Amino acid sequence: MCSYSIVVSIFACHVRDPGSIPGSCAFLIQIKYNKKLIPKLYYNKSYYEYILLVRQRLDQVSLQMKFLDIKQTPEQQQVVRKIQKSFGTAVGEYKMIEQGDRVALALSGGKDSWTLLHLLIDFQRRVPIKFEVIPITVETGFAGFDANVKKLEQYIEDVLHMKLVVLHDKFPEIIEKHKTPGTSACSFCARMRRGALYTYLQANNINKLALGHHADDAIESMLMSQQFNGVLWTQVPIVKAKDKPVTVIRPLILTYEQQMKDFTAIFKFPVVTCNCPFEGNPAHKRAVVKKQVKSMCEENEAVRGCLLKTCREMFEVIAAKRAARGEEENDDE
* 270: in domain: yes
Which of 17, 44, 64 represents a domain boundary (last residue)? Answer: 64
56 and 88 inside one domain: no
Looking at the structure, do residues 95 and 239 belong to the same domain, yes or no? yes
pLDDT at position 32 is: 53
Instruction: Looking at mean pLDDT, say which of 187-191, 275-279, 296-300 comes out highest.
Output: 296-300
Residue 36 pLDDT: 55
* 20, 36, 64 - which closes a domain: 64
Number of domain units in the chain: 2
CATH code: domain of residue 95: 3.40.50.620
Strands 4-13 and 25-33: antiparallel
pTM, rounded to two decimals: 0.77
Q: Exposed e or buried b for every residue in 99-111, given b needs 16+ CB within 10 A?
A: eebebbbbbbbbb
- Ranking 92-101, 226-235, 257-266, 321-330 by mean pLDDT, the lowest is 321-330
Asked if the structure places residue 69 within a domain, the reply is no
Which of 64, 84, 109 marks a domain boundary?
Answer: 64
Give a yes or no: residue 130 inside a domain.
yes
Residue 120: domain span:
75-325
Confidence at residue 44, expressed as pLDDT on a 0 to 100 scale: 46
Residue 47 lies in a domain: yes
In a domain, 331, yes or no: no
DSSP string, 154-176: HHIIIII--PPEEEE--HHHHHH
* Predicted confidence (pLDDT) at residue 125 exceeds the cutoff of 60: yes
Same-domain pairing of 127 and 169: yes
Kindly state whether residues 51 and 162 are assigned to the same domain: no
Q: State the average pLDDT over residues 311-329.
A: 83
Tell me the three state secondary structure of residue 60. Answer: helix
Please report whether residue 330 resides in a domain: no
Pair 215, 273 in one domain? yes
Residues 6+ apart with CB under 8 A from 297: 303, 304
Domain shared by 212 and 285, yes or no = yes
Query: Is 70 a member of any domain?
Result: no
| Residues 121 and 260 reside in one and the same domain | yes
Give yes or no for residue 68 having a pLDDT over 80.
no
Are 17 and 153 part of one and the same domain?
no
80 lies in the same domain as 59: no
Check whether residue 36 and residue 109 sit in a common domain.
no
Co-location of 151 and 25 in the same domain: no
Q: Are residues 193 and 286 in the same domain?
A: yes
302 domain-assigned: yes
Q: Phi/psi at 322 (nearest 5 deg)?
A: -65, -40
pLDDT exceeds cutoff 80 at 266: yes
